[in-house]
Amino acid sequence: MKKKLVYGAILAFCCVPCLVGLATAGDKGPAEITLQSTIDPAKTPKPAQFPHGAHQARLECKTCHHGKGPDGKRLSFAEGQKIEKCETCHNSQSGLPETVNTFKGAAHALCQDCHKKNKPELAKCGVCHKK
């Protein structure tokens, strides 16, 4: 009986760090994401591969994530800000400027732009849109 209690205590103790670990990993989102428009679906969908984890290792969250202020303007990312899917705001109904009122527009402006600046090779369609 006593032994059982001890084992129980050890088990409970070991599980706490595991759960905390999972919660932290969850906040960072998935390591690999397939991006695809769902609000404004294309006739011929062109999903994009996104190694989120590899980008997180090099870049700050605020490079990509941001919110929308009460004035409808871009709100810079701050610790604790709710991270939403790009298309929640970047869609055809959003009233945002035409250059960023689709997932494609916003994604290309962010992803392709940085890739182009780093290395022209990285801006080729097949880098993100794998066949």
The site for ligand HEC (CB under 6 A) is made up of 27-29, 33, 35-37, 42, 45-52, 55-56, 59, 61, 63-68, 73-74, 83-90, 96-97, 100, 103-104, 106-112, 114-115, 118, 122-123, 125, 127-129
Token pair for residue 47? Answer: 């999903």
Q: Which is nearer to ligand HEC, 8 or 72 (CB)?
A: 72
- Residues 60 and 116: their CA atoms lie apart, in Å, by 19
* Residue in 44, 47, 64 with CA at minimum distance from that of residue 56: 64
For 61, other C-beta atoms within 10 Å of its C-beta total 16
CB of 52 to ligand HEC, least distance (A): 5
Token pair for residue 114? Answer: 């940085």
CB of 29 to ligand HEC, least distance (A): 3
**Nearest 10 degrees: Cα torsion 94, 97, 99, 103:** -10
CB of 16 to ligand HEC, least distance (A): 22
Q: Which is nearer to ligand HEC, 10 or 59 (CB)?
A: 59
Are the CB atoms for 67 and 82 separated by under 8 Å? yes
Shortest-Cβ-distance residue relative to ligand HEC:
29
CB of 21 to ligand HEC, least distance (A): 15
